[in-house]
Amino acid sequence: MSNHLSHYSAPGARHRTPGCDSRHDEAILRAEIKRLVRALSPYGVLSRDALGREVGADSWHEPRFERALDAAVKQGKIVALPLGFYGLPHHV
């Protein structure tokens, strides 16, 4: 007896192609960077730990906070300051 469900896809299930995965990851990274910038906006400057608390980084997958913060610094959206502080370019 053959299993007719072996080729079944749940309604709404998405099949991703390799290019789609990278675009999805890039979209997530852009959203995470925006979240970091928004969290810094009211303060101008925060320590890395305080910034992590503001964005709820403890609920992010392990490397995502560091990856987003590094990317934001490389893109010039956030400035790395001495002693583990980060700021917005127009505040420093």
CA-to-CA distance for 81 and 92, rounded, in angstroms? Answer: 9
8 Å CB contact between 86 and 48: yes
14 inside domain: no
57 inside domain: yes
37 inside domain: yes
Could you read off the pLDDT of 44-84 as tens digits, one per residue?
A: 999 999 999 999 999 988 889 999 999 999 999 999 999 99
Count CB atoms within 10 A of the CB of residue 24: 12
Q: What's the predicted TM-score (pTM) here?
A: 0.75
56 inside domain: yes
pLDDT at 6: 44
Domain of 35 in residue numbering reads as 20-91
Domain count, the chain: 1
12 inside domain: no
CATH code of the domain containing 75:
1.10.10.10
Q: Which residues of 44-62 are buried (b: 16+ CB within 10 A; e: fewer)?
A: eebebeebbebbebeebee
